[in-house]
Amino acid sequence: MDGFSELQDFVARRRRLFVLTGAGCSTGSGIPDYRDADGQWKRKPPVNFQAFMGEAATRQRYWARSLIGWRRMRDARPNGAHRALARLEERDKCEMLLTQNVDRLHQAAGSRNVVDLHGRIDRLRCMGCGRYSPRDAFQRELGRLNPDWLDKDAPEAPDGDADLEGADFSAFVVPSCAICGGVLKPDVVFFGESVPRERVEAAAQSLARADAMLVVGSSLMVYSGLRFVEWAARDGKPVAVVNRGRTRADDLLTLKVEANCEDALAFLL
C-alpha cells in the first residue's frame, strides 16, 4: 500500500490545511538536499552564521562557491509538487504555505500565500544598513571582480552552493555594501541564526486557524519546522507527512506517506 489514496482522503476531508514544505519538494527541480533518508547529513553542514559574519575567509569561500552554484539555482523551475500545492491554494484549501526552502519555487508555481521561513536566496541583505539588493546584480559584480573564477565548475550543493574544494580562496574579492560598507549576506537564515520572531508568530496564527497540517518533503530535523508539528499535535490537529525516510516527528503523525513528493501529490493535478 503506497498511502496515496489515504492522502487524497486526508486532504478531501479538511477545509483549511496548514502546509509545511522542505527540501524534498525541490529535489525534483534539480536542487539537492542536505540529508539522507535517515535524516543524517549527506555532506558537510552548511556555513555557520557566526563564522560568516566573523571571518573574511569564510565569506570568500562562501561567495566563490556561490558564484558557481547560483547559476543552477537561478535557472531551476517548479516541478509537479510545487504545481500541486499551488492548485491546493486555488481550491481555497490552503491556510498558509510555510516553506523551509529558500528557492522561491512555490511562488514561481503560482502560490501566493507563502511564508519563506528560512528567507530567500534571490536577494541579499546588508547587515549594516539593512538594505536589500538582488542576487543577480551581485552575481554580475562577483564575476566582474573575479573573472578568473567564471569558467570554474563544481558539483552543485544545496542552497545555491557548489562543492568546490581545494581552491585557494584568499584572492577572491567580496564586495561590501556600496552605501555603508557593511557585510552583505544572503537573505536566508543561516545555521546558528534564529528565524525572525514575527515570521514565526504569523505562521503560528495561521496554524491556529487551520484544521489540519500537511508536511511535504521534510524530515523535520530542524526545530524551526518541527515545532509546528508539535503545536498541531498539541492542539489535536491531524498531521500528514509525505517524505522519503524517517522524520523527527514520526510518533506524532496521523498519516505517513513514504514517497516522492510529485508522485504523492499528483492527485491534485
Active-site residue numbers?
118
- Contact flag: residue 239 with Zn ion (CB under 5 A): no
- Contact flag: residue 180 with Zn ion (CB under 5 A): yes
**Binding residue for Zn ion, selected from 126, 164, 213, 249, defined by CB under 5 A:** 126
**Total of chain residues touching Zn ion, rule CB under 5 A:** 7
Nearer residue to Zn ion within complex by CB, 71 or 131: 131
- Residues 261 and 269: their CA atoms lie apart, in Å, by 13
CA 117 vs. chain centroid, Å, equals: 8
Please identify, among the stretches 7-15, 159-167, 171-179, 233-241, the one whose residues bind Zn ion according to the rule CB under 5 A.
171-179
- Residues 161 and 229: their CA atoms lie apart, in Å, by 29
- Contact flag: residue 129 with Zn ion (CB under 5 A): yes
Pairing between strand 94-99 and 17-21? parallel
**Binding residue for Zn ion, selected from 3, 128, 192, 238, defined by CB under 5 A:** 128
Number of alpha carbons in the 13 Å side-chain half-sphere of residue 246: 7
Min separation Cβ 126 and Zn ion, Å: 3
Please identify, among the stretches 87-95, 110-118, 123-131, 141-149, the one whose residues bind Zn ion according to the rule CB under 5 A.
123-131
**Binding residue for Zn ion, selected from 182, 192, 193, 231, defined by CB under 5 A:** 182
CB contact at 8 A, 34 and 26? no
Which residues 6+ apart lie within 8 Å of 73 measured at CB? 31, 103, 121, 156, 159, 160
CB contact at 8 A, 229 and 207? no
Q: Check the CA dihedral 7-9-10-12 and report its sign.
A: positive
- Contact flag: residue 265 with Zn ion (CB under 5 A): no
- Residue entry with cell 544598513: 129
Min separation Cβ 55 and Zn ion, Å: 19
Min separation Cβ 155 and Zn ion, Å: 33
- Contact flag: residue 179 with Zn ion (CB under 5 A): yes
Kindly write out the interface string for residues 75-114 of this chain, putting x where it contacts Zn ion by CB under 5 A and - elsewhere: ----------------------------------------
The H or E element containing residue 67 is helix 56-75
Binding site for Zn ion (CB under 5 A): 126, 128-129, 177, 179-180, 182
